[in-house]
Chain A
Amino acid sequence: MGKLSNILFAIYLLIPTVLFAQLTPMERKVLKTANSLFDKEQFSEALPLYLKIDSVEDDAQVKYRIGACYLNTKYEKLKALPYLEEVSQLPSIQVPVIVYNDLGKLYHYTYRFDDAIEMFEKYMEKSKTDEFAESKDYEFAKRMISVCLNAIEITTQPFKADIDILGAPINTMESEFCPMITADEQMMVYMQALGLGKIEKPIITLMVSARQPDGNWGNPVKLEIESIEKYKNNDILLAGLSPDGQSIFLNIGEGLNQDIYMGSIASNTIIGIKKLNKNINTPFYEGRASISADGTELYFVSDRPGGFGGTDIYKSKRSRKGDWDEPINIGAAVNTIYNEDSPFMHPDNVTLFFSSEGHKSIGGNDIFKSKVSDGVWSEPENLGFPNSTKDDLYFVLNANGQTGYFSSSKNNIYNKHKIYRVSLKDPIPLTLVKGVIKAGTPALPIAADIKVYDKQTGVRVKYVYNPDAETGQYLMIFPPAKNYDLVISSEDFLPQLLNVYIPYQTYFYELYQEIHLQPIELGNGIVGEVVTVNNTFYDLYKTAEADSIITEDSPKQPKYYDHLLELIENIIETTDTLQKIYTKKPIDKPDPAKNMDALLNMIEEAIETTDPVTLSILDANAKQKDKIKQTHFYTEGDKEKSLVTTVVGGDTIYTAPPIKTNIGQSNFEKISKIKKEAEVVKEAAFKTSSPEDRKYVHRLIIYYDIDKDEIPLDMTEKLNGICKLLVDNPLLGAEIYGFTDSQGAEKYNLSLSRQRAQKVLKYFLDQKVDYQKLIVKGYGETHDHIHSSDPKYLRKVEINVFELKGLEY
C-alpha cells in the first residue's frame, strides 16, 4: 500500500488541474464521483467509472488513474501496464518517479526484462533529484535490476526437463498448492484453497492422493483432522511430509503466529497431532518443515530474531532422548535478508531445495538448491526450469531424482496455484531396492537388522537402518555396477550374508526383494533353516528403450544433461550411503493391464501349429523372479556351530554360508547353474563319502526290547519327519547303524543288529527315500558304554542325518 499512496500523492502534486472540455454534464458528474472514490482509495469502485470516461475522453490523468486503480487490485495488476506505459511516454507529462518502478515490476512480470531494467534504471536516476523518493524504493529498483539480469541469464538457458501441469483429478478450477510426496512417489498430500478470488478468506483443505497402477494420481480425498475443534479459529496448513509418509507436519496458528505440529495419517485422517517442543516453536512464526530420510534432522522455517532477515531456514537434530534440540540457523550461504521458505531435504540427505526471494531469483520466490558437505552449504543454484517471475514454491523430488513436483501461480491472474510435475528426460543409473523380510509359516514380518557393505572396498555403508518391525519392509538406494554384501541379523535365525549385484545400467531400476526365513522343524527341535530370496527387477523404462540404451559389453558413460542429475551423483560420490526410507505402501508393483487374450491366443496357436520357436521366445522374454532358495542345516543341531566366518572390510563376521543372488548373471550362467545343481545332486556320493565330509545335523536313536527288531510304533512320527527331511533335501543323507546289547552269541547279535538296521532301511525306502542316500550297517554288540551300561540303552538303531560337505552349487 505504501507505494500506491506514493503514486496518489505524486499525482495530486504534479497534475493538479485538468480541463475536460468535451465531457457532457452527466460525464462530468461521473468523473467527479470517480475522483472522490479514488481519493477515498475505493479503487475498485472508481475503476469502472474511469474506464467509462476513458472511452469518451483521451486524457492522460484518467489513464494514469486507471493504471493506479489496476495496480491496486488483487488480481488485475497487469492490466495497468498499457495505461502506465502510455502515460510515461507522453513528453507533455511529467510522471511521478515511482511509476518507473511500478512499470519495471509489470515488465518483469511479463518477462520483458530489458524494458524492466530500463525502467528501474530510470527510477534510480530520476529519484536522486526527487524530494518524495524513498531510499527503500531505490534499493528495490537496484535489487530488481539484478533480478532481471538473473532472469535473462536463467530463462535463456535450455532445460532438459518436461514440465506438465497435472490434470484432473488433482488440479481443479480452485487453487492447488504445496504438493508433497513420499520418496517412492506413491502418495501425495497437498493443499487446496477453495474460493480464491471469490471470497475474502479462502477455505484451505488438506488433500491426499495415491498413485494408481497406471501411473496417474487417483481421486484425491480430503484429509480430516482429529479433534479439529481444538484448533477453532486457527488456520491448519500443510507444513511437511516425511519421505516414508509416516509423519505429516502441520502449521497451526492464527495469521502469522503459526507453529509446527506433527501427526500421522491413518485412513485419511491426521491423528496423534502433537505440537513440537519449545526449541522448534517460539512466539514467532514457524512454517514449513522437512525431515531427513533417517528421521534425525528437521529443517524448518522461522522468523525468530537472530536470523538474516525475513524468514530463514533452521535445522534441529533429534537428541538422544528423541526430542528436538536447540535449532541452528543454517547460515548465510542459504539464508538471505529476504524470505526463505519451503525447505525440502532430498532423501539423499545432501541436497536441500528451498525457495527464496533472494539469491539469483528471477522474481518473487524461486526454487533453489544447495548441497551440504561437512556442514558447509554450497552456493544456492537457481533451479531454472520451474521458476517463473512469480512465486514458485514447494519443490519436492522423488528418491530417484527423476520426478519433481511444485506449485506455481504462473499464468493465473487470480494467483491460483496449480501443481506441476517435472520429468527429467535422462534416466538415472540407480537401483531402488524395496524389500520385505518375513519369517515362518504363514510368513509374518520380523524385526531384523541390515548392514550393508560395498564388497569391492569392504567399506561398511554408513547408515544402518532396520526394517520396520511391523511390516518387515525396507528400502535402499544403490548405485549400479557394484557388489554389495547385505548382512541380515534377526533374533531366531542365523545371520544371513546376501550378496547382491546391481548390474550396470544407464537407467533407473527398481528391485523388489522378498526374503523369507523359515525354520526346519523336526520333532520338537529345529535342525536348520531355509532362506528364500526372491528378486524381481522392474525397469522403469520400456524394454525397447532400455535395449537401445544398454550395450552388454561396453557400458556407455551415462550422460548427465541436466544439473538435477548431479543430485544422484551425489549419492554415489559424496556419501555413497545407502538411504533407507520406510515405506508402508504396498510395494508389490501391480502390472499394468495386459492383454491376456493375446498371450492366450499366441500359446494356443503355437501348440496348434506345434511351433516351438514362439514358445522359446516367450520363455526367454518372461519376466522372471530371481528365486534363490538356500537351506542351512545346523551342525549337530546347534545353531552357533553353523556359522562361517567372512571378512568384510577388516571386520570378521559370522554368518550362515553366503547366498549369491543371480542378479547380473547371463542366461548362460543361469542355465549352467541349474544344470550344475542337477549334476551335483546326481553325483552326491553318500555311501562312499568319508566321515569327515559328513556334517551331522540330527540324530535319532530307537531303542528295542530284548531280541526284537520291529520299529516301536511310537517312533513313526519321528521317522517320518526324518524321511521328509531326506526326501526334500538332495544333499542330506543318513547313517542307519544297528546295535545290540551284549547278551547272547556275538554272531547272532551281529545278525540281529543288521536286521534292526534293515527294518529301518525298509521303512525309509517305503517313504521314498533314495537308497543311495542311506548308509546301513549292523555293528553287533554296542561297545560304547560311556553313556550308560544299562542294556536297554544298548539295544538300538542310531540314525544320523548328515549333510555332504563341499557340495555347493
Chain B
Amino acid sequence: MRTNRIIYSLSVVLLVCLFSNPVNAQYSEYEIKAAYIFNFAKFIEWPASKTNPDTIVLAIYGPDPFGTVLEKTMIGRKAQGKDWKIIRTNTVSELDRCHIVFIADVGKYETIQLIEKIKNKPILTIGDEMMQFCEMGGIVNFTPQFSDQQFEINNDVAKSKGIFISPKLLLLAKIISNKEDEF
C-alpha cells in the first residue's frame, strides 16, 4: 500500500513536470466544472426526444456561480454534434425541455423538491458539491477539491430515467447507490 502511494505520488510529480500545459495552468474552479459538464454530454446519452434534437439545453437552477464562463465554454462548440443552449431559471416548469440541470446553492430542501418534481423526466441533474446530493436522488455531484474522485454518480437514478452513462465516466466517479432508498 505504501509502495503504491509512493509510485502514485511519483507519477503525479512526473506528470506535473510533463504536462506543463494545460494541466499545470491555473484554471478556476468553475472553468473546470464547465469543462466537465461539456464533456459529460459526450459520454452520456439521453433517450431520443422529439424536442431539440440538435441542441443540448443546460439549465442553471438557482444562483449562477459560473458568470460568463459557461458561455465562453459552451457557445460555439458542439458536443455529439449538437449546439448548446444555456438557460437560467428558478421555475421547475422551465426545466421540461432541458437535458441537464445544474443546481448550485439552493439548499437541500429545495433540491429535494426539485428532484422529486422532475423525477420522471430524462433530465441529468448535477449538484455543486452538495452533501448527499446523489443519495437524495441526484445523478451527478461535484465533490469538494482534493476529494478522491472529482465527481460522484448515482447510476440507478440515471437508469430509471433512461439516461445512459458511459462506463468510462462511471469508472472515474465515486458511485453512489440508492438501494436503501427508503428509511
Which residues of A are in contact with B by a Cβ distance under 8 Å? Answer: 543, 591, 594-596, 598-600, 602-604, 606-608, 610, 612-625, 667, 670-671, 674, 678, 681, 723-724, 727-728, 730, 767-768, 771
Residues of A within 8 A of B42 (CB): 604, 607
Stretch at the interface among B29-37, B91-99, B156-164: B29-37
> If the complex has contacts A596-B73, A727-B112, A768-B109, are A618 and B43 also in contact, measured as CB distance less than 8 A?
no
Task: Determine which residue in A598, A608, A621, A730 has the highest number of CB atoms from chain B within 10 A of its CB, and name it.
Answer: A621
CA distance A671 to B23 in the complex (A): 21
Residues of A within 8 A of B112 (CB): 727, 768
Tell me whether B29 and A624 are in contact (CB under 8 A): yes
Known: A599-B27, A621-B25. 16 other contacts (CB 8 A): A594-B31, A598-B25, A599-B35, A600-B38, A602-B23, A610-B168, A615-B172, A617-B15, A617-B24, A619-B147, A623-B29, A624-B29, A625-B28, A723-B109, A724-B107, A727-B109
> If the complex has contacts A727-B107, A728-B109, are A594 and B36 also in contact, measured as CB distance less than 8 A?
no
Contact of B49 with A by CB under 8 A: no
CA distance A767 to B25 in the complex (A): 45
Tell me whether A678 and B131 are in contact (CB under 8 A): yes
Tell me whether A670 and B16 are in contact (CB under 8 A): no
Contact of B110 with A by CB under 8 A: yes
CA distance A618 to B169 in the complex (A): 16
Residues of B within 8 A of A618 (CB): 23, 27, 32, 150
Residues of A within 8 A of B16 (CB): 617
Residues of B within 8 A of A615 (CB): 150, 172
Task: Determine which residue in B8, B27, B77 has the highest number of CB atoms from chain A within 10 A of its CB, and name it.
Answer: B27
Tell me whether B107 and A619 are in contact (CB under 8 A): no
Cβ of A548 to closest chain B Cβ, rounded Å: 14
CA distance A724 to B107 in the complex (A): 8
Tell me whether A727 and B108 are in contact (CB under 8 A): yes
Tell me whether B29 and A622 are in contact (CB under 8 A): yes
In the complex, chain B residues 40-90 whose Cβ is within 8 Å of any chain A Cβ = 42-43, 72-73, 77
Contact of B1 with A by CB under 8 A: no
Tell me whether B39 and A622 are in contact (CB under 8 A): no
Residues of B within 8 A of A606 (CB): 172
Tell me whether A600 and B39 are in contact (CB under 8 A): yes
Residues of B within 8 A of A671 (CB): 144, 146-147
Residues 2-15 of chain B: 1 if any A CB is under 8 Å from the residue's CB, otherwise 0? 00000010011001
Which B-chain residue is minimally distant from A539 (CB atoms)? B26
Tell me whether A625 and B29 are in contact (CB under 8 A): yes
Tell me whether B31 and A599 are in contact (CB under 8 A): yes
From A594, A613, A667, B27 is in contact (CB under 8 Å) with A594
Which B-chain residue is minimally distant from A608 (CB atoms)? B168
Tell me whether B25 and A603 are in contact (CB under 8 A): no
Residues of B within 8 A of A728 (CB): 107-109
Counting from the closest, the 6 A-B pairs by CB-CB distance are: A727-B109, A598-B22, A728-B107, A724-B109, A624-B29, A623-B28
Cβ of B16 to closest chain A Cβ, rounded Å: 6
The contact sample of 24 A-B pairs, CB cut-off 8 A, is A598-B22, A599-B35, A600-B38, A602-B23, A603-B38, A603-B39, A607-B42, A612-B172, A614-B15, A615-B150, A615-B172, A619-B32, A621-B23, A621-B24, A623-B27, A625-B29, A671-B146, A681-B131, A723-B109, A724-B109, A724-B110, A728-B107, A728-B108, A768-B136
Tell me whether B26 and A621 are in contact (CB under 8 A): yes
Residues of B within 8 A of A623 (CB): 26-29
CA distance A543 to B25 in the complex (A): 8
Residues of B within 8 A of A678 (CB): 131
Tell me whether A599 and B169 are in contact (CB under 8 A): no
Which A-chain residue is minimally distant from B166 (CB atoms)? A607
> If the complex has contacts A619-B32, A670-B146, A728-B108, are A610 and B22 also in contact, measured as CB distance less than 8 A?
no
Which A-chain residue is minimally distant from B151 (CB atoms)? A615
Which A-chain residue is minimally distant from B113 (CB atoms)? A768
Tell me whether A617 and B12 are in contact (CB under 8 A): yes
Contact of B149 with A by CB under 8 A: yes
Tell me whether B145 and A600 are in contact (CB under 8 A): no
Tell me whether B108 and A596 are in contact (CB under 8 A): no
Residues of A within 8 A of B107 (CB): 724, 727-728
Which B-chain residue is minimally distant from A442 (CB atoms)? B63
Residues of B within 8 A of A598 (CB): 21-22, 25
From B19, B26, B146, A667 is in contact (CB under 8 Å) with B146
> If the complex has contacts A599-B35, A603-B36, are A591 and B28 also in contact, measured as CB distance less than 8 A?
yes
In the complex, chain B residues 138-155 whose Cβ is within 8 Å of any chain A Cβ = 144-147, 149-150
Tell me whether B145 and A603 are in contact (CB under 8 A): no
Cβ of A544 to closest chain B Cβ, rounded Å: 8
Cβ of A65 to closest chain B Cβ, rounded Å: 67
CA distance A602 to B38 in the complex (A): 12
CA distance A606 to B151 in the complex (A): 14
Residues of A within 8 A of B145 (CB): 619-620, 622, 624, 667, 670
Residues of B within 8 A of A681 (CB): 131
CA distance A612 to B11 in the complex (A): 12
Cβ of B48 to closest chain A Cβ, rounded Å: 23
Cβ of A318 to closest chain B Cβ, rounded Å: 39
CA distance A591 to B25 in the complex (A): 12
Which B-chain residue is minimally distant from A670 (CB atoms)? B146
From A599, A610, A723, A768, B32 is in contact (CB under 8 Å) with A599
Cβ of B4 to closest chain A Cβ, rounded Å: 13
Cβ of B8 to closest chain A Cβ, rounded Å: 8
Residues of A within 8 A of B19 (CB): 614, 617
> If the complex has contacts A617-B16, A617-B19, A728-B107, are A610 and B28 also in contact, measured as CB distance less than 8 A?
no
Tell me whether A612 and B26 are in contact (CB under 8 A): no
CA distance A21 to B23 in the complex (A): 85
CA distance A38 to B169 in the complex (A): 92
